[in-house]
Amino acid sequence: MNTDTAVVRVVPTTPFNDQRPGTSGLRKAVSRFQQKNYLENFIQSIFDSQSSRLPHTLVLGGDGRYYNREAIQIILRMAAANGFRHVKVGRGGILSTPATSCVIRKYKADCGIILSASHNPGGPQGDFGVKFNIDNGGPAPEKVTEAIFERSCTIESYKIVEAAPIDLDCLGQSQLGNMVVEIIDSVADHASLLESLFDFDQINTLLSSGGFRICFDALAAVTGPYAHAILEKRLGAPAGSVRQGTPLEDFGGGHPDPNLVYAHELVKIMYGDNGPDFGAASDGDGDRNMILGHGFFVTPSDSLAVMTANHRLIPAYRQGIAGVARSMPTSLAADMVARKLGLDCYETPTGWKFFGNLMDAGMATLCGEESFGTGANHIREKDGLWSVLFWLNILAARKQPVEKIVREHWHSYGRNYYSRHDYEDVEAERAHAVIASVKSRLPDLPGMKFGKNEVASADDFSYTDPVDGSTAGNQGIRICFTDAARIVLRLSGTGTHGATIRIYLEHFEQDSSKQDRDTQDALAHLIDIAHNLTNIVPLTGRTKPTVIT
């Protein structure tokens, strides 16, 4: 189709007041995004905030959720009107978040747009979202998201060309005005990057031996095609090792969130008699992961620590790694490893965007968050399948069960009992009251005793980026105890209904004879202290968390 003559329409609009991106992009109910001009305003605000440089190449895709295809058609017509010359789109509108990061970097694109609300449910009654990534392949840093938000507050018009819809399902190039639209294979680039990092032959031998079984649950979200191609076709896992491997617009009605609560079918399989040796799940947009052994759950914080301790088993990291970084609420397990191995260790605010500078500057190689996210400097996003392959490579090299590897790890480095308690959909005012009441007590807490636990320090975490000196305040309350236990409290920046209070609890146990306890039991004393400190029950009217991970 030749639409060289495509007419650019300038459409008048008025600002919406709720387009400030959160922890990871702009997330709203689908119905909000479908409101007239809502998506268009936000996309134009992104393009306007980039106008100091001539835009050239954009990478575009999404997790396949409801409204993905319609949004892609709108964004393509707006990109053409805004002067882009080339857009690479994942076939069928499908590109996982890590694959998008990979494609941006590989082809030196200027930026990327990922249509996803990650782990939030999809479908007409669910959520939609827009993430914006910059030329290093990573999420836009706060100065960029703030500029987008400011623009959205004053926007008066957006630009779009009139054109017939592009066929998203057919590989190859077509023309939209002066812009080339290229439909690319969603999987190929990311799969070959992953192949360059790990020992695929060793993993293949393990998976095709018949003696070692895996179960990967894509939760009917974006990773299905990637997992089928890599785990089954390339690495020899028998067909059927990947379940729920077809992306559905509503994720089959579930929460595409890989944790013990929402990936319950996988959990049942892995804890069943004769369950597989290794299990994993991924989230809506493929950047998160959960790792399980037979009858055994690996906390994401422990997963980062085990990866750090075993990095020399992986070809890409055999020569050593630069350092490790974790988000503030993530447990200190990785720090224990870093200390023993003499590696640099960084603590950043929640959200992958804070790791980008550390990786760009060659300061951190492995990064992780307690929220089921681990990744490395091969791209600038967390990467679910990378994490799965990292574990499979460790298992293939060590020839031990997952549980044994983790227990030996605890024996060497100590165990960080860890859990997160979420109170979802709390009335915003009440949630802010909880935070405010703890904040007002912070100066008095150091030295205070709660039973046997004495507070060593208490603060509101603020971060100064060691690379560019930018600062981020109000990143969560940390209360640290003299025995290395911690309670962290913050509000979620990804929800779309009311406010979500997250309480993170951590207790360190060096004594091997005490590393076998139930997590919630081991944390019971800290849970009591957290209730006492936050007054969460009287202030919110909630007696227990909505989700415990």
Active site residues: 118
Applying CB under 5 A, the residues found at the interface with Co ion are 118, 283, 285, 287-288
Q: Which CB sits closer to ligand VG1, 23 or 357?
A: 23
Q: What DSSP letter does each residue of 386-407 carry, written as one string? A: HHHHHHHHHHHHH---HHHHHH
Give the residue closest to ligand VG1 by C-beta: 118
Both tokens of 130, joined, read: 């827009």
Contact (CB, 8 A) for 320 and 404 = no
Nearer to Co ion, 96 or 299 (CB): 96
Task: Report the Cα 486 to chain-centroid distance in Å.
Answer: 23
Decide whether 40 or 285 has the Cβ nearer to Co ion: 285
The C-alpha atoms of residue 328 and residue 185 are separated, in whole angstroms, by: 36
Among 387, 494, 496, 534, the residue binding ligand VG1 under the rule CB under 6 A is: 494
CB of 256 to ligand VG1, least distance (A): 10
Q: Interface with ligand VG1 by CB under 6 A: which range of 84-92, 245-253, 283-291, 358-366? A: 283-291
Is 49:143 a contact under the CB 8 Å cutoff? no
Distance CA 410, CA 336 (A): 10
Span of 88-96, 190-198, 290-298, 492-500 interacting with ligand VG1 by CB under 6 A: 492-500
Instruction: List all residues 6 or more positions away from 458 whose beta carbon is below 8 Å from its beta carbon.
Output: 441, 442, 445, 446, 477, 478, 479, 480
Question: What letters, b where the CB count within 10 A reaches 16 and e where it falls short, cover 243-280?
Answer: bbbebbbbbeebbbbbbbebbeebbebbeeeebbbbbb
Footprint (CB under 6 A) of ligand VG1, residues 314-343: 327
- CB under 5 to 8 A by kind: which of ligand VG1, Co ion, none does 277 bind? none
d(CA 470, CA 424): 31
- Identify which range of 50-58, 244-252, 302-310, 350-358 contacts ligand VG1 by CB under 6 A: 350-358
Sign of the alpha-carbon torsion through 462, 129, 102, 165: negative
| Among the residue ranges 157-165, 182-190, 263-271, 366-374, the one whose residues contact ligand VG1 (CB under 6 A) | 366-374
Report in angstroms how near the CB of residue 300 gets to Co ion at its nearest: 13
Q: Does 296 bind ligand VG1 (CB under 6 A)?
A: no
Residue 266's DSSP bridge partners are none
Interface pick for ligand VG1 out of 110, 199, 335, 369 (rule CB under 6 A) = 369
Q: Does 118 bind ligand VG1 (CB under 6 A)?
A: yes
Per CB under 6 A, the segment of 8-16, 166-174, 340-348, 487-495 that binds ligand VG1 is 487-495
CA-to-CA dists, residue 34 to 28, 37, 40, 71, 533, angstroms:
10, 8, 10, 9, 42
Picked from ligand VG1, Co ion, none, the partner binding residue 24 (CB below 5 to 8 A depending on kind) is ligand VG1
Amino acid identity, position 353:
K
Q: Which amino acid is residue 346, in one-letter code?
A: Y
* DSSP helix/strand/coil, 335: helix
Q: Where in 15-74 is the site for ligand VG1 (CB under 6 A)?
A: 23-24
Beta bridge partners of 280: 216, 291
Using the minimum distance from each CB to ligand VG1, give the nearer residue, 42 or 212: 42
Q: Give Cα 287 distance to the centre of its chain.
A: 5
* Contacted by 457, from Co ion, ligand VG1, none: CB < 5 to 8 Å by type: none
Residues that bind ligand VG1 (CB under 6 A): 23-24, 118-119, 283, 287-288, 327, 350-352, 369, 371, 373, 492-494, 502
